[in-house]
């Protein structure tokens, strides 16, 4: 990942994010825009010191902007670019920086044509308000909505305004904001994200503490994320090649310490990796889920193009259902229990066979809050059936909430798949 | 819902939320604590004017607290109560309000016993740092973690400190913070949430505009949320009974206007309602999903106790799979197309029969980003098979992103289920 460096080359620029929207203050939605922007800025080597949320209120927004001007190099706003009279971000920011708004004919044309293509939605004159933009700004086209974003530099501060709806904000962030920030850069900051599954943050940290402490450029920093650990290596240098050359020895050292706990570098997620590996090897997968209740299928099918590798799956929540859909012998369930090594393996084998898939996954366990009187809440068996045999993991995920147990169980299944497909040892049955 | 009223009885108190955590500024997680707290405060009739996120930095946190003191009646912090040297929220807040920290023996005992119960995790002396609390505060016990929260009143401001991990924050919010805020109240604010599915926010708003404008106490306000509309009726009065009596006519008027678009009042979600209705009627459900890829199963099984009503489901992503798991005739798929009314109905009928469930749901459609050359992206057929016949909906959800199409398709299926189970008309096949 190529990145941004403050002109002085040493101190990072400081950014803050101001999100505008009463719906955020009412708790209708979480501020995912601020998260997404922050994640991207961190990769670009820009320090984010504050997030602020204010409602659709010009006085309070003005105060937040004045405060931000006094302490940050970059201000990024989200929201308040819509067509209603509540949407005041452009007016407030332009005023705070002494800029006029002008009517951008090209954006007006785009907005009109957006509505013409969607005949079911009528355009009102309000919609054309969105074509007013601060004089001299760089316009960011909105490819998935009507409100354009923009950027300008004034009073020593870089200001960037983005629309609030998460898909519009995110698309503009990746397509326009990142390139815009890069152009400002006189050097580069590159980073790599090392993704780790199967060990906690504190354990990973203690293994790497000496290495982390010995580094200053590049740096190495751990982040806990959804039951995984991510390690980010970041280098500042004059050119991409230099930065890359500085990072390689660190990547190698981390790999020596963590070995195959690392599932990928610069990979999005375990599910994305699994779908990629399957597609590359021309293999298919199927899943029989009990306690995860369709979450593994959902995560696999979150990846566009999953239909080429995911044959399908069953959610077999009840015992009869395990028999009706998979033909599992009721006496096996009776004898070993629905939450058992044997039933997990049988689920994996039978879904694989039933769908003629190359791989079959079976997951059965206790997500909580109720136990079964035999196993502790958080006990999950994950089985993988494949050409080379049957593999199984017993997880003890504890009572950290139903969502967490389900998510980690599905993650563990995906981790078994990646280990199998890359020829690493997997726990055998 | 019973609620909080500012002592003066007219102007609401103003609150702001300060979240402390570098992980938020790095974009590792979204600020769901601020969303959850805001939602609760809105129900209590407390206005939230700002959210601020700062890192684990005492100077910047101090500045944020000083600013909050100058403009808000209630300050709620989240995060920074942990055992590491980064966790400084209590120190900073105590200092800002001129309070000493004292060592709470009872909390220290709780922390020690928490670790004793979990022998796999070793307690360090750092953990006992969590037992230091501001002098004179009300202690909020942490039932799902070690860090206690607390509240105090100083310099004319109510300060509440909560732990950062979402499940700890949420549990304390509901069990301790809401009762604490209620005790401050001299009157009551009650609210009811009317949940609406099947019509957009602007359309609902235009139908209710006159009514909304005519009201001042109680008030009626619409919120868009995950493809649904929520209408909140809020009344301020001297007693619960008075407030309730004031709201009843408004609830009735809204019901007259929106009729059966309302799926519930003070209900959590469509899936919760569906599971409730099924459980109450002693009925079971099953699902065959294509484009939703297990999301309906996942949402049903998100509800604790779903195993009593959800028999199971299949994710039939490929055509062969529809045949292998459900026995759908390949020639039907060939003739009508995988995305068709006929295939959706066949999926619903067959999963119902296969699992001996009272209801069967079938969902097939195009979630995008790729189309099939026949239907527009966002075209989805949702079928419901039941005793009284077969029902079907054709949805045109547009190209608003894969996640949105999938979510709304599953919501629509749940809405058909609730309509069927409450004797309302459903689109027949």
d(CA B17, CA B75): 6
Q: Which residue of B has its CA nearest to A56?
A: B49
Instruction: Answer yes or no: is B5 within a domain.
Output: no
pLDDT value at residue A340: 95
| B325 lies within 8 A of chain A by CB | yes
B255 and B281 both lie in a single domain: no
Residue where a domain terminates, one of A150, A184, A218 = A184
pTM, whole model, 2 decimals? 0.78
| pLDDT above 90 for B102 | yes
- Using the 3D structure, point to which of A153, A184, A215 is the last residue of a domain: A184
Contacts of A368 in chain B (CB under 8 A): 304
Do the domain assignments include residue B96?
yes
Q: What is the pLDDT of residues B216-263, one digit of tens each?
A: 899 898 887 777 888 989 888 888 899 999 999 999 999 999 999 999
Q: State whether B323 and B372 are in the same domain.
A: yes
Q: Is residue B92 part of a domain?
A: yes
Evaluate whether residue A72 is within a structural domain.
yes
CATH number for B92: 3.40.980.10
Whether residue A225 has pLDDT greater than 90: no
Q: What is the token pair recorded at A325?
A: 């859909």
Asked whether residue A143 is assigned to any structural domain, the reply reads yes
For residue B46, what is the nearest residue in chain A, using CA coordinates? A26
Domain count across chain B: 3
Same domain, B368 and B405: yes
Q: For residue A49, give the nearest of B35, B60, B355 by CB distance.
A: B60
Q: Is B245 on the interface with A (CB under 8 A)?
A: no
Interchain pair A355, B320: CB under 8 A: yes
Mutation choice for A interface testing from B117, B143, B315 by most A CBs within 10 A: B315
Instruction: Give SS3 for B137.
Output: coil
Please check the confidence at residue B140 and state whether its pLDDT lies above 90.
Answer: yes
Q: Confirm whether A5 is domain-assigned.
A: no
Q: Are residues B36 and B177 in the same domain?
A: yes
Helix axes B58-71, B89-96, angle to 10 degrees: 50
DSSP B46: P
Digit-coded pLDDT (tens) for A77-106? 999 998 777 789 999 999 999 999 999 999
Give the model's confidence band at A118: pLDDT under 50 very low, under 70 low, under 90 confident, else very high.
Answer: low
Distance from CA of B153 to the nearest CA of A (A): 23
Look at residue B143 in the predicted model and tell me its pLDDT: 87
The answer to whether the CB atoms of A294 and B310 lie below 8 A apart is no
Are A80 and A204 in a shared domain? Answer: no
Mean of the per-residue pLDDT values of chain A: 90
Q: Are B421 and B260 in contact (CB under 8 A)?
A: no
- Are A276 and A323 members of one domain? yes
Residue A142 has pLDDT above 50, yes or no: yes
Residue B417, domain CATH: 3.90.950.20
Q: Does the pLDDT of residue A60 top 50, yes or no?
A: yes
How would residue A226 be classed by pLDDT, with cut points 50, 70 and 90?
confident
Q: What is the ipTM of this complex?
A: 0.74
Q: Are residues B274 and B379 in the same domain?
A: yes
Q: Are residues B160 and B246 in the same domain?
A: no
> Quick one: tokens of A305?
């193009």
Q: Are residues A171 and A221 in the same domain?
A: no
Q: Chain B: nearest CA to A75, how far in angstroms?
A: 14
Contact B297 A293 (CB under 8 A): yes
The answer to whether residue B337 neighbours chain A at the CB level (below 8 Å) is: no
**Do A274 and A261 lie in a common domain?**
no
| Greater model confidence, A344 or A116 | A344
Q: Which pLDDT score is estimated for B188?
A: 77
Residue A164 lies in a domain: yes
Residues in Cβ contact with A138 at an 8 Å cutoff, skipping those fewer than 6 apart:
A150, A151, A152, A180
- In which domain, by residue range, is B254 found? 188-265
pLDDT, one tens digit per residue, over B19-35 is: 999 889 989 889 999 99
Span A357-386, pLDDT tens digits: 999 999 999 887 777 788 888 899 999 999
Q: Do A25 and B40 touch (CB under 8 A)?
A: no
- What one-character-per-residue DSSP string does B250-315 give? HHHHHHHHHGGGEEEES---HHHHHHHHHHHHT--EEEEESTTTTHHHHHHHTSTTGGGTEEEEEE
* Residue B352 confidence (pLDDT): 96
Q: Is the predicted pLDDT of residue A8 greater than 50, yes or no? A: no
Q: What percent of chain A has pLDDT over 70?
A: 95
pLDDT at A191: 86
Nearest to B321 among A305, A312, A370 (CB): A312
Q: Which of B136, B167, B184 is the last residue of a domain?
A: B184
- With a cut of 80, say whether residue A186 has pLDDT above it: no
Comparing CB atoms, the residue among B321, B354, B369 nearest residue A311 is B321
Residue A230 falls in which region: left (phi positive, over 0), alpha (psi -120 to 50) or beta: beta
Q: What pLDDT sits at residue B390? A: 95
pLDDT digits (tens, 9 = 90+) for A239-261: 889 999 999 999 999 999 999 99
Indicate if A285 and A229 belong to the same structural domain.
no
CA distance B136 to chain A (A): 30
Q: What pLDDT was estimated at residue B404?
A: 84
CATH for A254: 3.30.70.2860
| CA distance linking residue A284 with residue B125, whole number of Å | 51
Domain presence at residue A245: yes
Q: Please list the residues that pair with B362 across neighbouring strands.
A: B288, B383
What pLDDT is recorded for position B128?
86
Residue % of chain B over a pLDDT of 70: 96
Q: What is the DSSP string of B406-423?
A: HHHHHHHHHHHHHHHHTT
pLDDT of A3 strictly over 70: no
- Do A305 and A400 lie in a common domain? yes
Of all residues in chain A, the one with the smallest CA distance to B230 is A28
Cα–Cα distance for residue pair A382/A392, rounded to 1 Å: 6
pLDDT at B358 over 60: yes
Q: Is the pLDDT of residue A396 over 70?
A: yes
Of B48, B67, B325, the CB nearest to A355: B325
Q: What is the DSSP string of A87-98?
A: --HHHHHHHHTT
The reply to whether residue B298 touches residue A301, judged by beta carbons under 8 angstroms, is no
Say if residues B61 and B54 touch (Cβ distance below 8 Å).
yes
- At A398 the pLDDT is 78
């Amino acid at each position: 990942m190529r990145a941004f460096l403050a002109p002085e080359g040493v101190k990072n620029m400081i950014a803050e994010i101001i999100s505008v929207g009463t719906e955020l203050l009412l708790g209708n939605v979480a501020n995912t825009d601020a998260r997404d922007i922050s994640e991207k800025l961190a990769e670009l080597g820009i320090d984010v010191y504050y997030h602020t949320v204010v409602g659709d209120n010009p006085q309070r927004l003005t105060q937040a902007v004045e405060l931000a001007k006094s302490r940050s190099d970059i201000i990024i706003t989200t929201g308040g670019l819509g067509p209603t009279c509540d949407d005041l971000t452009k007016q407030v920011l332009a005023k705070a920086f002494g800029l006029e708004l002008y009517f951008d004919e090209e954006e007006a044309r785009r907005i009109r044509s957006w509505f013409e293509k969607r005949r079911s939605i009528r355009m009102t004159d309000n919609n054309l308000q969105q074509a007013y933009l601060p004089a001299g700004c760089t316009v960011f086209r909105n490819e998935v909505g009507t409100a354009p974003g923009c950027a300008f530099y004034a009073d020593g501060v870089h200001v960037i305004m983005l629309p609030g709806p998460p898909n519009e904000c995110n698309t503009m962030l990746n397509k326009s904001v990142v390139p815009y920030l890069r152009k400002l850069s006189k050097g580069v900051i590159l980073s790599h994200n090392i993704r780790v599954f199967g060990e906690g943050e504190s354990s990973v940290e203690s293994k790497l503490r000496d290495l982390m402490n010995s580094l200053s450029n590049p740096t190495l920093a751990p982040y806990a994320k959804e039951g995984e650990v991510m390690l980010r290596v970041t280098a500042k240098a004059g050119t991409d090649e230099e930065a890359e050359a500085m990072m390689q020895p660190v990547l190698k050292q981390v790999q020596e310490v963590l070995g195959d706990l690392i599932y990928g570098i610069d990979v999005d997620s375990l599910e994305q990796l699994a779908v990629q590996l399957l597609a590359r090897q021309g293999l298919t997968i199927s899943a029989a889920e009990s306690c995860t209740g369709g979450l593994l299928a959902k995560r696999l099918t979150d990846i566009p193009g999953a239909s080429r590798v995911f044959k399908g799956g069953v959610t077999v929540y009840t015992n009869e259902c395990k028999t009706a859909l998979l033909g599992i012998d009721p006496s096996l369930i009776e004898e070993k229990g629905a939450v058992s090594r044997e039933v997990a393996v049988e689920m994996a084998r039978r879904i694989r066979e039933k769908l003629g898939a190359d791989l079959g996954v079976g997951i059965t366990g206790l997500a909580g809050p109720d136990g079964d009187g035999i196993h502790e809440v958080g006990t999950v068996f994950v089985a993988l059936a494949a050409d080379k045999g049957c593999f199984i993991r017993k997880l003890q995920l504890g009572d950290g909430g139903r969502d967490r147990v389900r998510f980690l169980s599905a993650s563990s299944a995906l981790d078994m798949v990646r280990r199998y497909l890359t020829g690493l040892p997997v726990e055998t049955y």
